[in-house]
Every structure is written in structure tokens, then in C-alpha cells.
Amino acid sequence: MVDRAGLLRAYDDQLRTDAETPSAIAVERLGPLRLVTFAGGRGFVTYRDLGGADAAGVDRLVADAVAYYELQPSIVKVEWKTRGHDLAPGLHESLVAHGFAPGEPESIMIGEAVRLAGDVPLPDGVALRRVTAEHDVRAMSAMQDEVFGDPVSDAMADAILRRLALHDGMELWVAETAEGEIVSAGRLEPVAGTDFAGIWGGATREGWRGRGIYRALTAARARSALAVGKTLIHSDSTEFSRPILERSGLVKVSTTTPYLRRR
């Protein structure tokens, strides 16, 4: 039997700390909130819990967080990361009233790295590799932008390169054809001081889906996580990747919904 409650406790205790935002430029505390600033004009609000605040208290926290970022003209967008298992009375209503728009809910998936790490066959002519060179990173970032329906962003690629230069353990993995076309990609982020590594940014070009490539990319990252002593994998998964991770042994322990506010 999978101990979902135990996995969720590990997630809350180990990941909802500064470990959640290793590439932050600055972190300001506002009561239970952590107000994070990232490169590229991004703000990010997260927390372990809301301190038992009632609806009025939650509304004050939202208002104060908005005021904090409004005083920073370099911040062009702010994400408030909610979790479905939190006690947060009135949070949705307050966020919407203060200009945040909810995104699509995602599943918080957790499982043992060893259960994902098996060999997965790849289609003929497709190979996996870890990338570090700038031209590879920019090609990977552009592919992910295209798959997610976003404009190709030099700023996002620049942020990834800055993060890579920190040598904090983040790994970038791609699947590419013999002709050098990147058809799938994702990150591995071992979380210092925890049992966890995160798998993020998973994207596969539409014409290459359903052929085991994403599963193979996930397995490669799980093996790399085990090699650096991480026993648990976590991911916020879309409905595209959730079934793949479930087949590999991860379980859904909660949900997370991003709320985005643009200046």
C-alpha cells in the first residue's frame, strides 16, 4: 500500500521551504508568506501554510503581497502557488478580486525514484543526452516554448543559462533525432537537504507523443537522481504527463493551481 499521507507530509515538510526556490534573487517574509523575486521580472508567492488565517486574514495577506510587488517596477508578473489540501478560506475569491487569474490545476505527483528508473526502449533514431552548451540550452528552451504554445523567449533561455551557471545540481535532458532535432526535453532538480528531486519542464512535440520518449526521459532523470542520493521524485503534472507518471509508480497526493497577475 502506498502511504499517500506520508508522502504528502514529506512534501510539505521538506519542499515548502527555501528549498522550493533555489534560484531566487530575493526572498521577503510577510507573515506566513514567502515573497520571492526571480530573474526576468517574476514574482512568486508560496508558503508552508497560511497560519490558520480566516477569510479576512487571507484577504489582508493577498492585499499586502500585491502592494509589495507593486512597489517593484521591475516585476512584470506574479504567480501565487496554491495547493488543494491547504486550509485557505476565501483565497480564490481574494486572488481574483486582486487581479490574479487562475491557471489550469495540476497534480502533485510523488513516488520512489527507483520505480521510475528502469530501461525504456526508444524509437529508432532517437537518443537521450544531458545538455550544457548554450546553443543546446537555447534550442531546448525554444522547443518547450513552442510545445506549451508560448512565444519563443530569449529571456527564459537566459534565465535557464544563469541557473545552470550556479552549478546547483540542476540537469537538462533532451531526446533528439539523428538529425539533431530536439523532440522532448525536461529538467531534473535535486533539492539540497531533502530526499527529493523534482522533474520539471517535460515537453514532447506532438508528432512524437505516445512512443515512450517521455517515459524514457523520465527514467533517465530518475536514474540520475538516484546517483546523487535522492530517493523521492516529485512533479507538478499536467493531464498529459500525469498518466505516464502514474504508470511509472508515482501517485497523486494533492493538486496545485497557479494564479497569475500581470502588471
Domain boundaries in the chain? 15-107, 111-254
Rg for the chain, CA atoms, rounded? 19
**CATH-assigned architecture of domain 111-254:** 3-Layer(aba) Sandwich (3.40)
pLDDT digits (tens, 9 = 90+) for 58-117: 999 999 999 999 999 999 999 999 999 999 999 999 999 999 999 999 999 999 999 899
Cα–Cα dist 204/220, whole Å: 15
pLDDT digits (tens, 9 = 90+) for 237-250: 988 788 888 888 89
Q: pLDDT value at position 80?
A: 98
pTM here is 0.86
pLDDT-derived band at 236, boundaries 50, 70, 90: very high
Nearest to 245 by CA among 234, 258, 231: 234
Which residue is listed with cell 496545485?
Answer: 256
pLDDT-derived band at 55, boundaries 50, 70, 90: very high
Per the rule left: phi > 0, alpha: psi between -120 and 50, beta: everything else, 160 is: alpha
